[in-house]
Chain A
């Protein structure tokens, strides 16, 4: 299996040899680069066009920003209020106005004397910021304070001087000042400013014009000057605004910039027929692979750097306005450096991933097909950074792309939590090292030179392709037809969906695939082992019991996944399951168990772990891709973004169980048990399915799997 020459590393070879390989690596890299640079069309499309499209992108993201602004306006926030300095008439006016603010804002009267004093001393000085920030940490999202405008005469005189002696009407005439203090670098702070700022500004304006109408200087005590004080330093506001979407841009640019180099270096080499020639040169495979990888990495970095430059120019020129208050100007160099370093291993990881993808493809075009799903996954992992309230913690730090993306955002906003950021850095270094250790495999001749068998002569390949097709059709059919049936009548619709649609698809696929399984439908459905061996009734019974016992523990794992996920994807309130149980209150417990546990357990397992997984996994032993593909299909069938992660994980567990046990029975039992726990938890609230002792139920399964 090993290609000779693999596994050698520069350190383990004598020096002259190492020199030779270094020279060969440079030769390969230079050759790749030269061919790449001569492909003008590709350079144009991969680097120049994205660079030039930033103005459009910025415009689009501003529109998106307006949409998210609307969401911000609906946030629930708490504002501390200390208006004791206002006379009662004015206070009533302000109170009346506050009462009109949306129900999302809760005002609480507090003693904020310290903030008031600090605020009265001067605009946005250090003391106000410190005092206010202390209060804002205190579960408050904004502060509304008022004080007597003691400094007014001085200020007015200074203004008069500056305006050439003419005394203008300005707000400094007002005897009172009211300030709304908030922190723009948090979503809640933005929510406060979006909801409270407007009405108060309006009131101040109205009072002022009333005062004007009544004659100059009539009664300044009845007006007040209003101001908004953002306690977030400008570099924080700006950093956050940039840092939130930089990870996303980084991911997209790195992938699209590196992709064309990777496709050229790997898939292109195969398509042109130069790979064979390359593999018979007296150079170890790792030298070739690393030479190619280094060019992919360099291209990705070049695309990234040129794109960031273009982005910054777009901002400087003023085509894109950062959210109000975030002043334009140079970014903090230190923060940019930290952000760059934190993200660097991720760049390496993505370049390596591109090489793997491109090496799987036989042609340039095939490689391009792999690119879209890869980009979507990477974007999904980077997108939590868009939400300012997803916090970087140790768990998220471990996730590739996601951890470094959050760290990059926090680095720009100046709120980097160092321990978690270092964890993210270390974890992404680990991921990158893992990917790099496998780079040599991209040129594994044994795999690359295996020609695909022609259609019809390759029952295994046909079965795999058919399984994928039927899997996709199942997802659509269950979503459309199943959805329609269940909205007509839940019980009858669900029964029909599972026992007719899902089971029918499973039987059809098993029947169509049977040629790849020696003509046996039972083997195609994983009812017997793939070798054709029937397992004994006792062994099957053992698997079924083990599966049934492990259900509650699996439910706990599911709950953990949901908890973690809810931190950046909150579940809609009033879970679907609760509502469902409510409408089915008249059904008996056994009926519920059959309908919601046993039926999906049997039919869905026969389709996904039986027919589809068996069919996918048969093709040249590509077991792991098959496992994840069927899990993704299973998750997609549930048609809920909130339940995707949990159903995907469930699909992986059930699939792995089927692969290890050889038949689908264990998965049927575990699925049934898992669903049954949900039903029982509702009907039998006295049983605590969250108890750690349920984990003992996993033991029989572990013993059997060993």
Chain B
């Protein structure tokens, strides 16, 4: 249904976000004119250091924050104009996402399914499907507070794809996970690659990006420095490994862009 070749899965135009901060000369510019394009059928990695604006971008795309300027379309729907429609078309998961401690995985999925307005029978079918896919039957009715971190992880993932969204937005999904859980997550992301779907995820782990991403966008201080396949980025910078590519791009950018943050005033 979404396999429209003309349309991007995610598209932002001159996206900007400023936070009010009277302590530091009025405002902080978290994003300054970001242009991003992600296609259906691809896994897109947003790469950048802490504070680069990755989370802000993904939160705007997930309609949690409103853009200060510019526009963003998700699955062809404008985040500012039809946020509820956008929310029906995305799954969102971040490193800090938690679970209701006193609900079981089954109840969690039932709760969010109901919020999505899924009909009861369809919801139960879908939950059974997900329990199969993520091997969750053993702990489906145990309270989340008693689950292992891997089990929690699988519950969170199942929750994010419960309504089978065309666009999946993952904000640093592997941060804080142990090796096994990280492996599960990477396998899951790979398994989501599908001609009618798109996965957009942010990370600062270069190896993940190298392994998973069809295309990579490098973001720094609220701007997209470069975007393309790993090979294209290599060609662009003349570096072989992603960390070299990344360093080269950042160094290049720092040479020409003024720092958006004022350092502490001299005492």
Contact = CB atoms under 8 A, between A and B. Distances in A.
A283 B92 CA distance: 15
Interface in A451-466: 458-461, 463
Interface stretch (B62-70, B209-217, B251-259): B62-70
B97 to A, nearest CB: 5
Interface residues of B, number: 45
B96 A280 contact: no
A321 to B, nearest CB: 43
B188 interface: no
**Top 6 nearest A-B pairs by Cβ distance?**
A460-B23, A273-B98, A4-B83, A282-B87, A272-B98, A38-B102
Nearest to A19: B117
A23 interface: yes
A260 to B, nearest CB: 13
A449 B115 contact: no
Nearest to B143: A38
29 contacts: A1-B66, A3-B66, A4-B82, A4-B84, A5-B84, A20-B117, A31-B111, A34-B103, A34-B107, A35-B100, A272-B98, A272-B101, A273-B96, A276-B64, A280-B62, A280-B63, A280-B90, A281-B87, A281-B112, A283-B84, A445-B59, A458-B23, A459-B264, A460-B21, A463-B23, A515-B265, A519-B266, A620-B21, A621-B20
Interface of A: 1-5, 20, 23-24, 27-28, 31, 34-35, 38-39, 272-274, 276-277, 279-284, 445-446, 449-450, 458-461, 463, 514-516, 518-519, 530, 618-621
B100 A282 contact: no
A445 B65 CA distance: 7
B23 A27 contact: no
A274 B99 contact: yes
B200 to A, nearest CB: 14
A27 B114 contact: yes
Given A273-B98, A459-B264, A445 B23 contact: no
Contact of B97 (A31, A276, A516): A276
A31 B108 CA distance: 9
B23 A459 contact: yes
A284 B84 contact: yes
Nearest to A283: B115
Contacts of A27: 111, 114-115
Contacts of B114: 23-24, 27
Nearest to B82: A4
Interface string B226-241: 0000000000000000
Given A280-B90, A620-B22, A445 B111 contact: no
Contacts of A273: 96-98
Contacts of B101: 35, 272
A460 B84 contact: no
B24 interface: yes
B175 to A, nearest CB: 12
A276 B94 contact: yes
A280 to B, nearest CB: 5
B21 A445 contact: no
Contacts of A450: 19
Of B62, B84, B99, B267, which is in contact with the most chain A CB atoms at under 10 Å from its CB?
B84
B83 A5 contact: yes
A3 B84 CA distance: 11
A268 to B, nearest CB: 9
A684 to B, nearest CB: 45
Contacts of A445: 59, 64-65
Contacts, number: 115
Interface in B149-190: 159
A518 B24 CA distance: 9
B64 A279 contact: yes
B80 interface: yes
Interface of B: 19-24, 59, 62-66, 79-85, 87-88, 90, 92, 94, 96-103, 107, 111-112, 114-117, 143, 159, 264-267
Given A277-B159, A446-B66, A620-B21, A282 B96 contact: no
Given A276-B92, A460-B23, 10 more contacts: A1-B66, A4-B83, A4-B84, A24-B117, A272-B101, A274-B98, A274-B99, A282-B84, A515-B264, A515-B265
Nearest to B63: A4
B261 to A, nearest CB: 10
A519 B267 contact: yes
A460 B262 CA distance: 13
Given A27-B111, A280-B64, A281-B112, A620 B87 contact: no
Contacts of A274: 97-100
Nearest to A462: B23
A646 B97 CA distance: 48
A276 B61 CA distance: 13
Given A272-B101, A519-B267, A24 B115 contact: yes
Contacts of B80: 4
Contacts of B115: 24, 27-28, 281-283
Contacts of A2: 66
A567 to B, nearest CB: 42
Nearest to A28: B115
Contacts of B112: 277, 281
Contact of A618 (B23, B62, B98, B264): B23
A518 B23 CA distance: 9
A272 B83 contact: no
A514 B143 CA distance: 51
B64 to A, nearest CB: 5
A282 B111 CA distance: 13
A449 B66 CA distance: 12
A461 B23 contact: yes
Contacts of A618: 22-23
Contacts of B116: 281-282
B130 to A, nearest CB: 16
A227 to B, nearest CB: 63
Contacts of B59: 445, 449
A39 B100 CA distance: 12
A35 B22 CA distance: 39
B96 to A, nearest CB: 5
Nearest to A26: B114
Contact of A516 (B23, B79, B88, B266): B23
Contacts of A35: 100-103
Nearest to A272: B98
